[in-house]
């Protein structure tokens, strides 16, 4: 194994942070049991929508030794049972952490066996066939992993595909702000999904903005790749078409000069991964149009893409970031691990009475 991977697998330095994360999670309100709505249907006849655990989750996650603890405690906090499968490089650490959690669960008969650890890929394949028993699969990992899992199962998958995120510097941008946001979005943590991969620059501002941005980016060690218009203004390697669809996850940035606002929006919707995109501009009308028309889970105005994160959004805990369009989209907090049920409390009501006109509904929203 390469030295950086071995280093990443170590738990000792992360341990205090892991424990702190568990304590923070405990302090959050329980997502299951929350009353989401109440409506009177008629006298002595009330409809309640209440949050409940989804049921049994299957979670496949990356080789980070802190991931098992985080995921296990998120499942328990939300009242779900789960089968967990971590990356094989951390298998012994995962087994030791799991055993400690499992032993604690077995002290309470209601919790004993709520979590299971899968140790082989074959077990995951078996799991994916159990669509009558498993309610949701959450794969954390590569786009390929997510696609392979979707192909192999009828179970709903809450997946996080590529993060091809854009910074668009509009004609009306403050040049210094745009350079600062671009640098943060690209370099603050380049290996993660909400880091920027592509910079789009309005041609009206490119001659002023690009030289300043190039200075800031090169200073941070970023390799620049550009289209012809970009390379006419700054030094950069040539871009191929494939660059527009690539998630570098590294200190590389593709740059394109666009003829106008519409071209930028269309380019992002065509080449982005509907994850996170930002516009830098002083023009409020252009910003609002961008926030409305760019079809991504998170859209920002005058802020770095790196803010697209459950903790930074103030959710208290993060399950992951979803590029799904249904159930949960964007940064997913604990409420992404619950569903709801309808409870109706009546006093003998039958539908025939309402169909015949003997009774009629008297709807009224009630406080939760």
Can you tell me which of 4, 109, 191, 363 binds a copy of itself, judged by CB under 8 A? 363
Site pattern 233..272 for a copy of itself (x: CB under 8 A): ----------------------------------------
Q: Does 357 participate in binding a copy of itself (rule CB under 8 A)?
A: no
Q: How far is the CB of 282 from a copy of itself (least distance, A)?
A: 10
Separation of alpha carbons 163 and 186, rounded Å: 12
Which residues does 294 contact at the CB level (< 8 Å), separation at least 6? 265, 268, 269, 272, 277, 279
Q: DSSP letter for 256, please.
A: E
Which two structure tokens, joined as six digits, stand for 289?
Answer: 């149009």
Which stretch in 70-78, 148-156, 210-218, 233-241 sits in contact with a copy of itself by CB under 8 A?
Answer: 148-156
Can you tell me which of 76, 164, 196, 308 binds a copy of itself, judged by CB under 8 A? 308
Beta strand 35-42 pairing with 364-366: antiparallel
Interior/surface letters 254-273, b for 16+ CB within 10 angstroms, e for the rest? bbbbbeebebbbebbeebbb
For residue 142, report the phi and psi dihedrals to the nearest 5 degrees: -75, 160
Q: How many CB atoms lie within 10 A of CB 302?
A: 15
Q: Does 329 participate in binding a copy of itself (rule CB under 8 A)?
A: yes
Q: How many CB atoms lie within 10 A of CB 244?
A: 19
| Nearer to a copy of itself (CB atom), residue 120 or residue 343 | 343
| Nearer to a copy of itself (CB atom), residue 94 or residue 296 | 296
Site pattern 33..52 for a copy of itself (x: CB under 8 A): ------x-x---x-x-----
Q: Does 327 participate in binding a copy of itself (rule CB under 8 A)?
A: yes
Chain residues 2-31 in contact with a copy of itself, contact rule CB under 8 A: none
CA 93, 94, 95, 96 torsion: positive or negative? positive
Q: Does 154 participate in binding a copy of itself (rule CB under 8 A)?
A: yes
| Nearer to a copy of itself (CB atom), residue 94 or residue 298 | 298
- Longest Cα pair distance anywhere in the chain, in angstroms? 80
| Residues found near a copy of itself in the complex (CB under 8 A) | 39, 41, 45, 47, 54-55, 131, 135-136, 147, 150-151, 154, 156, 158, 174, 177, 180-181, 183-184, 188-189, 287, 291, 295-304, 306-308, 312-314, 324-327, 329-331, 339-352, 354-355, 361, 363
């Amino acid at each position: 194994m390469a030295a950086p991977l071995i280093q990443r697998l170590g738990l000792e330095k992360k341990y205090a942070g892991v424990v702190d994360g568990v304590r923070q999670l405990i302090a959050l309100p329980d997502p299951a049991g929350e009353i989401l709505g109440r409506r009177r249907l008629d006298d002595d006849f009330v409809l309640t929508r209440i949050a409940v655990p989804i049921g049994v989750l299957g979670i496949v996650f990356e080789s980070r030794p802190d991931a098992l603890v985080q995921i296990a405690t998120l499942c328990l906090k939300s009242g779900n049972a789960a089968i967990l499968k971590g990356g094989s490089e951390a298998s012994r650490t995962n087994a030791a952490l799991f055993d400690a959690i499992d032993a604690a669960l077995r002290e309470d008969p209601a919790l004993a066996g709520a979590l299971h650890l899968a140790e082989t890929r074959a077990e995951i394949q078996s799991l994916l066939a159990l669509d009558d028993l498993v309610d949701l699969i959450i794969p954390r990992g590569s786009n390929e992993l997510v696609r392979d899992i979707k192909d192999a199962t009828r179970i709903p998958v809450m997946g996080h595909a590529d993060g091809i995120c854009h910074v668009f510097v509009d004609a009306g941008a403050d040049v210094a702000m745009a350079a600062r946001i671009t640098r943060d979005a690209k370099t603050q943590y380049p290996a993660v999904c909400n880091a920027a991969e592509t910079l789009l620059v309005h041609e009206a501002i490119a001659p002023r903005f690009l030289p300043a941005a190039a200075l800031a980016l090169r200073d941070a060690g970023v390799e620049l790749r550009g289209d012809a218009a970009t390379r006419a203004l700054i030094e950069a390697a040539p871009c191929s078409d494939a660059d527009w669809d690539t998630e570098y996850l590294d200190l590389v940035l593709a740059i394109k000069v666009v003829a106008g606002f519409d071209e930028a929006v269309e380019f992002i919707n065509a080449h982005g991964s509907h994850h996170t995109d930002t516009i830098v501009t002083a023009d409020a009308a252009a910003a609002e149009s961008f926030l409305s028309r760019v079809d991504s889970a998170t859209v920002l105005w005058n802020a770095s893409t790196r803010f697209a994160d459950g903790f930074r959004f103030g959710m208290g805990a993060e399950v992951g970031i979803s590029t799904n369009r249904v159930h949960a989209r964007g940064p997913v907090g604990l409420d992404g691990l619950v569903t709801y049920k309808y409870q109706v409390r009546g006093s003998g009501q039958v539908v025939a009475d309402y169909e015949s006109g003997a009774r009629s509904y008297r709807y009224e929203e009630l406080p939760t």
